């Protein structure tokens, strides 16, 4: 199969060409599933959301104006599809006072030999609200104001969810680090 260009993907998808749509899916499904999995705990749900995301991409392809990368546009659709799913599940964010999220976290003892997969598993264990805000902020690069707008929460809630997620992750990393030391006698 010859490598298809981004422009050819867009042109073929605009024509509703099933072959081009299949090639786009095959080329990007792994990456898009990984994005959905960052927000959705269960792989089967994440796969369903990814498929719905591709359907939305094919349906809304005319809206892609070429501002920015096509891949980035597709990623954004997957993030929004994941967030919509979480909204439908009535994921609840807890409002907290702004002072509670300003606590300082000490990362000096959090050095570990974690692999990327271990870290993703720890993130996956976070409660849905923490995981969502952590992914949007730390991985996707959205600001707290953007997150607040997307999730229809206050900016202070976004900040507190991130702070709690970081604290939870720090605790889990330290626990895992201790477990590694015990198991390997380090």
What domains does the chain contain, in order, with CATH numbers?
A: 6-88 (1.10.1740.10), 98-184 (1.10.10.10)
Contacts of 13 (CB under 8 A, 6+ apart): 20, 21, 24, 57, 58, 61
pTM over 0.75: no
Contact 81, 35 (CB under 8 A): no
How would you class 77 by CB atoms within 10 Å of its CB: exposed for 0-12, middle for 13-18, buried for 19 or more?
buried
Long-range contacts of residues 30-36, Cβ cutoff 8 Å, at least 24 apart: 31/71, 31/75, 32/74, 32/75, 32/78, 35/75, 35/78, 35/79, 35/82, 36/78, 36/81, 36/82
Contact 124, 131 (CB under 8 A): yes
pLDDT of residue 87: 83
Of the candidates 110, 107, 170, the residue with the CA atom closest to the CA atom of residue 134: 170
- Look at residue 147 and give its three-state secondary structure: helix
Distances 156 to 39, 80, 145 between C-alpha atoms, Å: 20, 21, 9
DSSP class of 125 = T
Rounded (10°) angle between helices 18-39 and 43-60? 130
Contact 121, 38 (CB under 8 A): no
DSSP class of 19 = H
**Regions of the chain where pLDDT drops below 50:** 92, 94-113
DSSP class of 67 = S
pLDDT of residue 17: 94
- Residue 54 and residue 149: Cα distance in Å, rounded? 24
pLDDT of residue 117: 72
């Amino acid at each position: 199969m010859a490598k298809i260009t981004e422009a050819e993907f867009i042109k073929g998808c605009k024509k509703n060409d099933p072959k081009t749509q299949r090639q786009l899916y095959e080329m990007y499904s792994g990456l898009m599933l990984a994005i959905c999995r960052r927000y959705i705990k269960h792989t089967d749900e994440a796969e369903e959301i990814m498929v719905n995301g591709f359907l939305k991409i094919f349906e809304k392809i005319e809206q892609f104006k070429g501002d920015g990368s096509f891949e980035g546009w597709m990623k954004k659709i997957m993030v929004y599809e994941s967030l919509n799913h979480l909204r439908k599940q009535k994921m609840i964010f807890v409002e907290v006072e702004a002072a509670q999220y300003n606590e300082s976290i000490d990362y000096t003892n959090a050095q570990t030999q974690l692999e990327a997969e271990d870290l993703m598993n720890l993130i996956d264990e976070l409660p849905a609200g923490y995981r969502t805000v952590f992914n949007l902020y730390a991985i996707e690069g959205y600001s707290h104001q953007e997150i607040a707008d997307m999730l229809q929460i206050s900016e202070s809630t976004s900040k507190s969810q991130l702070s709690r997620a970081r604290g939870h992750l720090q605790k889990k990393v330290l626990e895992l680090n201790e477990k590694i030391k015990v198991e390997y006698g380090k």
